Amino acid sequence: MNKQQKAGFSLVEVLVALVIIAIMGAVVALNLGGATDDAKINATQTEIKTIATAITLFKSQQGFLPTQTQGLEALVREPTTEPKPKRYPVGGYLQTVEVPKDAWDNPYIYLIPGRENQPFEIISYGADGLEGGEGVNADLSNLY
C-alpha cells in the first residue's frame, strides 16, 4: 500500500460513524422527550396549586368565590359582574396580567362547584386537551 491509500476514511467507516451518531441522537432525544413531558406535568401541577391558592385568598378577602361567569379572569382583573369585590387589590391575585394557560397552551377549566362536591376545581386536560386520558394526556386537578 502506498501513502495515498492509507490516508482518509473509507465510505464504510464514514457511514458507520454516521449511524452511531444517529443512534446516540435518537437515545438523547427520547430521554429528553420524557423529561420534557415530566417538566410540563410538574409545571402545570404547580400552576394549578398557585391558582387554587389565589382563589382561596380571593374568597377569604371578598367573602365569595369568583362565579363561573367571572371565571379565572377575576384573579387578574376586577370583576364587573355581580357579586363585585369590596376592595380589589392592585395587581389582582396572580402575578400576571393574563390568566395563565397550562404547559400545553390550553386554558384551565374552572368549575364551581368542583367535582366530588368541592367548593371549586381547577383542571388541565393534559397534553391532548381532552377529558380523561393516561400519562401525559391525563387530567390534572387541584383535587388530586
| The three three-digit cell numbers of residue 43, written as one number | 409545571
Q: Which domain holds residue 99?
A: 10-141
Q: Which amino acid is at 125?
A: Y
Residue 23 belongs to a domain: yes
Is the pLDDT confidence value at 23 over 80?
no
Q: Which three cell numbers stand for residue 94?
A: 396572580
**The domain spanning residue 24 has which CATH number?**
3.30.700.10
Give the DSSP letter of residue 91. T
Residue 5 lies in a domain: no
pTM listed for this prediction? 0.76
Name beta bridge partners: 121: 111
How confident is the model over 106-137, as pLDDT tens digits? 999 999 999 889 999 999 999 999 999 999 99
Which conformational region is residue 8 in: left (phi greater than 0), alpha (psi within -120 to 50 degrees), or beta? left
Domains: count for the chain = 1
Query: Which own/partner pairs from 20-23 qualify as long-range (CB within 8 Å, at least 24 positions apart)?
Result: none
Between 32 and 16, residue with greater pLDDT? 16
Residue 70 lies in a domain: yes
Asked, for residue 49, whether it belongs to a domain, the answer is yes
* 138's grid cell: 391525563
Residue 103 covered by a domain: yes
